[in-house]
Structure 1
Amino acid sequence: MVLTEQAAKEKLFPIAFNQQQVLDASAVLMILADREAIKQPLVEKLNETQVKQGFLPEELKQQMIGMTVGFYQGLEQQKIMNFLGLDIGLFAMSFMLAAEEKGWNTSPMIGYNSQALRSAFSISERYEDVLLIAIGKKVKEPHQSYRYDVNEFVTWDEMPTA
Structure 2
Amino acid sequence: MSSALQADYSTLFRERHSVRHFDASHKLSEQEVKELLEIAGRAPSSWNLQHWKFVAFTDPAAKETLLPIANGQKQVVDASVTIAILGDLEANRNTEAVYGPVIQADGEDSYAGYHSHQVLFTQIEEAYAAGASSSYRRDEAIRNASLAAMQLMLAAKAKDLDSGPMVGFDADAFVNTFHVPPRYIPVLLVAIGKAARPARPTTRFPVEQTVVWNGFE
TM-score (normalizing by structure 2): 0.64
1:50, CA displacement in angstroms? 4.0
Deviations 1:72-119 (A, max 9, x none): 333353022112211111111112112211222111110111122122
Distance 1:136 1:50, change over 3 A: farther
- Superposition CA RMSD, Å: 1.9
Q: Which residue of structure 1 aligns with residue 164 of structure 2?
A: 107
Give the counterpart of 2:195 among 124, 138, 145.
138
Give me the whole-angstrom Cα distance separating, in 2, the residues matched to 1:28 and 1:125.
21
- Aligned counterparts, 1:40-59, within 5 A: 42-51=94-103, 57-59=106-108
Residue 83 of structure 2: SS of its match in structure 1? strand
The superposition leaves residues 36-79 of structure 1 with CA deviations (integer Å, 9 ceiling, x where unpaired) of 2113xx21111114446x5xx33144343223223333335302
Tell me which residue corresponds to 2:186. Answer: 129
Partners of 1:139 and 1:97 in 2: how far apart? 19
Match of 2:121 among 62, 65, 69: 65
Identical-residue share of aligned pairs (%): 32
Q: Distance in 2 between matches of 1:73 and 1:58?
A: 27
Number of paired residues? 155
AA aligned opposite 2:107: E
Cα pair 1:47 1:64 within 8 Å, conserved: no
**What residue ranges of structure 2 are gaps of 5+ in the alignment?**
1-54, 111-116
TM-aligned CA deviation for residue 16 of structure 1: 0.9
Quote the Cα distance in structure 2 between the aligned partners of 1:149 and 1:135.
28
Q: Is the 1:16–1:112 Cα contact (8 Å) retained in structure 2?
A: yes
- Matching residue's letter, 2:95: V
CA contact (8 A) 1:43 1:69 kept: no
Q: Deviations over 1:19-48 (max 9, x none)?
A: 121111111111111222113xx2111111
Match of 2:215 in 1: 158
Return the alpha-carbon distance in structure 2 between the equivalents of residues 134 and 145 of structure 1: 19
CA distance in 1, matches of 2:155, 2:102: 22
